[in-house]
Structure 1
C-alpha cells in the first residue's frame, strides 16, 4: 500500500463519517458514508445499487469526498468511481466491517463496491498547511 493511500485511509477511519458528493442532472447531491477499505492498492467504498448514489455514479462517475477532524484539518478526495463488486472484494468488505452483514452478503446482488481511479486528495488545515497528492 502506498504511503498516500495509507494516509488517506487512516484519516477516513479516524473520522468515520465522511460525505460524498455526486451530480444528478445539474444539481449536486451529498450524503454521509462510513465504509472505506484498501484492496490491492486502491481505496474502496460501498453502496447499494438501489440507491440514488449508485445511479448517479454510474451515470456520472466523478465524485468528491470531504471530512474534517476535531483539530480543524480536513481532506477533499476526488476521483472517478470504478465499480468492482467481485465476490472476493465483497468478502473482504464483510470481514473488515462485520456490521455490513446485517445488510448484505457476499452473494448479494444489491451490494456494490467501487474504487477511486485518477484520485487526488488535498489535505487542508486552518493554518494554511495544504498539500495535494495523487493516488
Structure 2
C-alpha cells in the first residue's frame, strides 16, 4: 500500500480495494446505486455486488430503466452506510459480455431469484474514487 499524503488515504491493489469495499457493503447490508436520466439523479437500493475475475460486478435487469440509464450515461455513484461510517464510490459501469462472468453471477441466490438468463444484465464497475467517512470526522480516500 502506498500512502497518498494530500488525501490521507492509500493506493491499494485492486484485490485489496475490492475486499475492503465488499466487506463494508456486506456489513451495511445494501447500498444505494445512483445513475442519471434527463439530467436528474435516479437512485435505488441494490443488494448484489460481487467480485468475479478480479472485477466488481453488479447485476441488473435489462428490462429496467436503470439499464437504459447506464447505457446512455455510464457514470454512477454508490453510497452505503453503517451507523457510524459511510462509503461513497464514483465510477463508470461497463456492460459485461463475458458469458462465463454472467453465468457466475447467476449462481448467486439473489441474482438467481431475481433474474433469468434472458433478463440479466451484468456490469463491471470501473472505479474513479472510493471515499470512506466516519461520524467522528475520519476521512480516507481508498482510490
Structure-1 separation of matches of 2:32 and 2:114 = 20
Shift of 1:9: 0.9
Contact 1:85 1:111 survives alignment (8 Å): no
Structure exhibiting the larger radius of gyration computed from Cα positions:
2
Contact 1:66 1:77 survives alignment (8 Å): yes
Q: Note the residue ranges of structure 1 that are not aligned, 5 or more in a row.
A: none
Q: Aligned pair 1:18/2:27, yes or no?
A: no
Specify which of 81, 94, 102 is matched with residue 82 of structure 1. Answer: 94
1:72-125 superposed Cα distances (whole Å, 9 cap, x missing partner): 100001100011043211221132x223223334xx221011111143110111
Q: Note the residue ranges of structure 2 that are not aligned, 5 or more in a row.
A: 1-13
Contact 1:75 1:122 survives alignment (8 Å): yes
How many residue pairs end up in the alignment? 130
Specify the alignment match of 2:68 in structure 1: 55
Structure-2 separation of matches of 1:87 and 1:19 = 26
Specify the alignment match of 1:110 in structure 2: 119
Contact 1:16 1:35 survives alignment (8 Å): no
Q: Tell me: CA distance 1:36–1:118, structure 2 relative to 1, closer, same or farther (3 Å).
A: closer
Taking structure 2 as the reference length, the TM-score comes to 0.84
Structure-1 separation of matches of 2:29 and 2:124 = 17
4+ residue runs of structure 1 moved beyond 6 angstroms?
none
| RMSD (Å) for aligned C-alpha atoms | 1.4
Question: Which protein, 1 or 2, shows the higher relative CO under an 8 Å CA cutoff with sep ≥ 6?
Answer: 2
